[in-house]
Amino acid sequence: MIYKKQHQIFATVIMVLIISIQISCTKKNQSDLSAESIIPKPVSVTSTGDYFSLKPNTTIYVKGESSELFNIGHYLADRLAPATGFKLNVKTTFNEPGNGSILLTLSGVGGNSREGSYELVITKKQIRLSARTHEGLFYGVQTLRQLFPAAIEMATPQDGPWKIATGTINDYPEYSYRGAMLDVARHFFSVDDVRRFIDFLAYYKMNMLHLHLSDDQGWRIEIKSWTKLTEHGGSTQVGGGKGGFYTQEQYSAIVDYANECYITIVPEIDMPGHTNAALASYPELNCNGKAPDLYTGTEVGFSSLCTKMEITYTFIDDVVREISALTPGPFFHIGGDESHATKVEDYIPFINRVQEIVAKYGKRVVGWDEIALATLKPNSVAQCWASEENALKAVAQGAKILMSPAKKTYIDMQYDKTTPIGLHWAAYIEVDDNYNWDPATYIPGVTKENIIGIEAPMWTETITKLDDIEYMMFPRLPGVAEIGWTPASQRNWDEYKFRLAQHAGFFEEMGINYYKSPRVPW
């Protein structure tokens, strides 16, 4: 009997020790900067083995008189306030601030001239964030957010302490274009939903949001010279719901919010195919002069603008002109994919002419890789989603490649057969499949010098609400962000999956509905 009790006590002690070890292994080390689970992985991290404590009297200083610098300072203060309860002051300085401060300054970063580069120096007494550009400072702020305990992202006051490890981070992006696409045509999403989408991109240092604004199932942006596009063409969606559209004022609000997060909006009007919503709105855009019915299904390739009629190009000119005036970014996406109802001999001159219209309004053409069949302008961008042959044709014409291979980056694809939403025509894409590839070696003959960047498209045939968006984005979006930011030589799935697992805390505190992949040690 005594032996049995001793055995039970011994077993209990062992269990307590095991649990304690597990906790110690998973607990955030607040004094080792090199052990932090930052995504995307920084280029260089050096730890000094101490920590900085954020306190109610911490002041954020911006060096120099700059409203943009001041805005970044307030952005940081606003993100730290809800969870900490601290109302941190943001002040301008021309001198070196004292202890307990956070300093944001535009200056050289160790001779690094890369766009978006920043240096973060954390000591026990001060945090100093330096960058060549405001964009770089903003990226450094995202790193700071990830260095604090995950509870920093809570919307209500939490207990501290709010400590981050000391050391130095030098960092910069691998590619200039790091984006995601949201299809608002198959299913419509509100301005607030898009803002939430932008917040996710910003947190992982992505800088492009491609909005798929038109398709067979809906036209989603107001065109004042062609009002029926939204009145009729925007009135439904996949499955027959009420659809919706953005007024020009609402679209401008999205653009402005994205700009605050150093994200560029890339508007897409898909053509000559994927145009049933437009064709149903205006009979004169059809070769037979008859408007088809609105479409609420999910088939592709059946619609086409009438490429030989002059009114088609008047229509396109008006659309490109109005959207370009609302969009300060350099890109305009013309679609061009799956134009099966358009004869090749009509498709090529159509794309050539549309490129001229886009250039007329000062924008750089982006299109799905099929546009490489036409004669591309040297500064054009072909978005490679399906055809390696088309990518090579684009490169041969001097165009840049935006890498979006469907088998790797389409984050609307199911994770596996059990995933409740999504499609799988390209592939089932688990988290490791999404991460384990290199844009610079994916297509033989397409090198890093040919590639402008990477984008993760989210098509919404089966995605109807924000929870769905989050479930399909997470945890795949952080991996896409790291591919775009971190050199391939520093990326490794076996290491990354543990960093990703630590981000579960951030997902949960941000209220993100994410997929708990069995391939990640959550």
CATH number for 321? 3.20.20.80
3-state secondary structure of 343: coil
Q: Which two tokens stand for residue 311?
A: 């009114």
HSE (side-chain half, CA atoms, 13 Å) at 123: 8
Classified as helix, coil or strand, 260 is helix
**Rounded Cα distance, 260 and 159, in Å:** 30
Decide: helix, strand or coil at residue 181: strand
Residue 24 within a domain: no
- What is residue 113's predicted lDDT score, i.e. its pLDDT? 72
For residue range 426-452, list pLDDT tens digits in order: 999 999 999 999 999 999 999 999 999
Q: Which two tokens stand for residue 296?
A: 């609420």
pLDDT of residue 30: 66
d(CA 381, CA 363): 11
| 309 φ/ψ angles, rounded to the nearest 5 degrees | -100, 140
Q: Which two tokens stand for residue 53?
A: 């404590």
Give the integer Cα–Cα distance in Å for 172 and 114. 7
3-17, 110-124, 471-485 — which is least confidently predicted? Answer: 3-17
Whether the pLDDT of residue 6 is over 60: the answer is no
CA dist 84 and 370 (Å) reads 51
Same domain, 164 and 184: no
Characterize the bridge pairing of strands 59-63 and 451-458.
Answer: unpaired
Residue 446 located in a structural domain: yes
Task: Indicate the pLDDT class of residue 27, thresholds 50, 70 and 90.
Answer: very low
pLDDT confidence tier of residue 110, bands split at 50, 70 and 90: low
The residue range of the domain holding 374 is 177-490+503-509
Residue 497: inside a domain: no
In a domain, 303, yes or no: yes
The answer to whether position 369 is within a domain reads: yes
Task: Give the pairing type, strands 101-106 and 89-93.
Answer: unpaired
Helix (H) or strand (E) holding 50: strand 44-54
Q: What is the DSSP letter of 423?
A: B
Residue 447 within any structural domain of the chain: yes
CA distance 161 to 327: 43
Whether residue 140 is found in the same domain as residue 192:
no
Cβ-proximal residues to 454 (8 Å cutoff; 6+ apart), any chain: 175, 177, 178, 179, 402, 403, 404, 409, 439, 480, 483, 484
Amino acid at 332: F
Q: Which positions are catalytic?
A: 338
- Boundary residue ending a domain (135, 156, 171): 171
For position 415, what pLDDT does the model report?
98
From CA 76, how far away is CA 84, in angstroms rounded? 12
Q: Quick check: is 1 in a domain?
A: no
Mean pLDDT of 341-346: 98
pLDDT at 484 (0 to 100): 98
Average pLDDT over residues 340-348: 98
Q: Are 213 and 187 in contact (CB under 8 A)?
A: no
Q: Which of 17-31, 233-247, 288-302, 337-351 has the lowest mean pLDDT?
A: 17-31
Q: What is the mean pLDDT of residues 67-93?
A: 97
* Strand 400-403 versus strand 381-384 pairing type: parallel
Residues 293 and 388 in one domain: yes
Domain co-membership, 214 together with 149:
no
- Whether residue 386 is found in the same domain as residue 362: yes
* DSSP state for residue 238 in the 8-state scheme: G
Host H or E run for residue 180: strand 177-183
Domain membership of residue 498 (yes or no) is no
Regarding whether 142 and 249 lie in a shared domain, the answer is no
Which of 171, 201, 227 terminates a domain? The answer is 171
Shared domain for 455 and 356, answered yes or no, is: yes
Q: What is the largest CA-CA distance in the chain?
A: 98
What pLDDT sits at residue 29? 53
Residue with tokens 């401060």: 101
CA angle centred on 463, ends 327 and 454, rounded to 5°: 50
How do strand 118-122 and strand 126-131 relate by DSSP bridges?
antiparallel
Q: What is the count of structural domains for the chain?
A: 2
Q: What is the pLDDT of the chain when averaged over all its residues?
A: 94
pLDDT of residue 107: 86
Together in a domain, 72 and 211: no
Average pLDDT over residues 39-48: 98
Binned at pLDDT 50, 70 and 90, residue 24 comes out as: very low
Q: 210 and 158 share a domain?
A: no
Provide the token pair at 491: 């990326």
pLDDT surpassing 90 at residue 390: yes
Q: Do 152 and 193 belong to one domain? A: no
Cα distances from 174 to residues 364, 392, 439, 451, 471, in angstroms, run 22, 22, 11, 11, 27
Query: Which pLDDT band, with edges at 50, 70 and 90, does 168 fall under?
Result: very high
Q: Which of 171, 195, 225 is the last residue of a domain?
A: 171
Residue 332: name the closest of 317, 347, 311 by CA.
317
Crossing angle for the helix pair 476-485 and 493-502, to the nearest 10 degrees: 130
Mean pLDDT of 176-187: 98
Round to the nearest angstrom and report the end-to-end CA distance of the chain: 41
CATH of the domain at 89: 3.30.379.10
Based on the domain organization, do 257 and 368 belong to the same domain?
A: yes
Average pLDDT over residues 288-310: 98
Rounded Cα–Cα distance for residues 232 and 312 (Å): 18
Alpha helices in 300-383 (DSSP H): 310-326, 344-360
Centre a 10 Å sphere on the Cβ of residue 1 and count the other Cβ atoms it contains: 5
156 pLDDT higher than 60: yes
Which residue(s) pair with 312 in the sheet?
none
Which amino acid, residue 8? Q
